[in-house]
Amino acid sequence: MSIRWSDLNLLVAGRRVTLSGHPVALSSQSHAARFLMTQEPGCCPGCAPRDPAGTIEIQARSAIPLLSGSVHLSGVWSAHDGAYRLTDAHLVEPVGWSAITRRRALATGPLMCLAAAVDIGSARAAIQAITAVDFHSHAGGIASLERMRTGRPFSPVAEPMRKGGMAAVCLAVVGDGGTHKVMTDGRLHPFRDPAPGELYALSQLTFARVNDMARTQGMAIITNATALRAARAGTASAIIAAEGGDFLEGRPDRVDEAYAKWSLRHLQLVHYRVNELGDIQTEPAVHGGLTDTGAEVIRRCNKLGIVVDVAHGTFDLVRRAASVTTKPLVLSHTSLTNNPARFTRLITPEQARLIAQTGGVIGIWPPESIFPTMDSFAAGMARMVDAVGVDHVGLGTDMRGLLGPSVFPDYDRLPALADALAGAGFNATDIGKLLGGNYVRVFEASMAA
């Protein structure tokens, strides 16, 4: 008997059922006979839903691979004290991202009716022809407070960019650095309140360091649309970004200072603490979405020419941001879910459409916990395309910022992603949009008077 997650509370104990879901390891294992299963893939290690109704404990006959996307299991059902369990479970058929083929991707919807055959050579040529952009990156280790405090050199960024053909990356300093950490539930949470002036002072150090790193590695710092459009494979350029407007400490005028002093051109409003600008996906809401201060920050960004990024923001934050902005929004690093778990970093099609309706773009990220292969990563981009259209999807790797392994570990992997997109049925023109063209358009619109 095949069942749906919405019917779990109707099941009779002792009955054998089959169910599809995503495995979550209880420890760092690639195979296990005992693990958890969730309806949607996790966005990071340890992010199984806190609601017991969203999690099933699996006790399998033998070890099952845990890194293969979604799985289809048969087992004996039981429930006790609100917790669900499937015992004597065995693998029936892997049905997740790893099983998606090019034919199935082409059949997912009208927006995927692209070229029936795409030449791999033309896919790689698309990288050479456009400005490939990663619009969320901590490459080089720029999020490391230890590096900043000791002056230890950053790891190479420009070299793998040139090798892979990545023309520009948004290098993001962390606005709430030192105030959050991984807790016992495996998630990042704020653990202390910053002292007055602490995060602003830290931003002066971090902005200076990322600017110095870019220059030391021979990366041009992009401050206008002309410079970004001219960037190409073989060069390496940086867009100075901030993940979290916490360094503003509630003062919108500091946006002007960061723009002029540090060449800030991409600002993500919130990160891992509920700040003065709005609520976040991973903690209980406090403000009911975007605050009035957050709205004023968006207006200043629109006026100056700074891309506004609503990643990590709640649905209510995104909805008000979309009503306030006069320029396209970016949601830089996430992926799609139809059944969001509590405190997930993933977004629904409805939230994605809010971004698209501003003319904006959504960056798909590559955690192995969601996309275990490059082909599945391309399929995840295709899934978002199916939801909002090919003009509103791009690449946001969260390079060096993920808690777990990435299927896109460095920029020399960009040609492999182009190949995978070709295998998913995208033509060269649309590959160019997905790998940077859409972000260039949004950046250009954000700079316009």
- Side chain identity at residue 418, one-letter code: A
Judgement on whether residues 333 and 418 belong to the same structural domain of the protein: yes
Domain boundary among 96, 114, 146: 96
CATH code at position 55: 2.40.50.870
Domain boundary among 59, 80, 96: 96
Tell me whether residue 12 is exposed, middle or buried, using C-beta atoms within 10 angstroms of its C-beta: 0 to 12, 13 to 18, 19 or more. exposed
Judgement on whether residues 73 and 138 belong to the same structural domain of the protein: no
Judgement on whether residues 27 and 109 belong to the same structural domain of the protein: no
Judgement on whether residues 158 and 83 belong to the same structural domain of the protein: no
Judgement on whether residues 151 and 55 belong to the same structural domain of the protein: no
- Looking at 42-191, list the stretches that DSSP marks H as alpha helix, in order from N- to C-terminal side: 102-106, 120-129, 145-150, 158-164
* Among the listed residues 331, 323, 330, 369, the one whose alpha carbon sits nearest the alpha carbon of residue 347: 331
Judgement on whether residues 327 and 365 belong to the same structural domain of the protein: yes
Judgement on whether residues 300 and 186 belong to the same structural domain of the protein: yes
Judgement on whether residues 228 and 307 belong to the same structural domain of the protein: yes
Q: Domain containing 287: what range? A: 102-447
Judgement on whether residues 45 and 134 belong to the same structural domain of the protein: no
CATH code at position 201: 3.20.20.140
Judgement on whether residues 68 and 217 belong to the same structural domain of the protein: no
Judgement on whether residues 77 and 190 belong to the same structural domain of the protein: no
Number of domains present in the structure of the chain: 2
Judgement on whether residues 82 and 131 belong to the same structural domain of the protein: no
pLDDT in tens, the chain (449 residues): 667 776 777 777 888 888 888 787 766 567 888 888 877 666 555 555 545 566 888 999 988 887 556 678 899 998 876 678 899 999 885 433 333 333 334 434 433 333 334 566 777 788 888 999 999 999 988 766 676 667 777 889 999 999 999 999 999 999 998 899 888 877 889 999 999 999 999 999 999 999 999 999 999 999 999 999 999 999 999 999 999 999 999 999 999 999 999 999 999 999 999 999 999 999 999 999 999 999 999 999 999 999 999 999 999 999 999 999 999 999 999 999 988 888 999 999 999 999 999 999 999 999 998 999 999 999 999 999 999 999 999 999 999 999 889 999 999 999 999 999 999 999 999 999 999 999 999 999 999 97
Strands 31-38 and 55-65: antiparallel
Question: pTM above 0.75?
Answer: yes
Domain boundary among 61, 96, 131: 96
Q: How far apart are CA 79 and CA 65, in angstroms?
A: 24
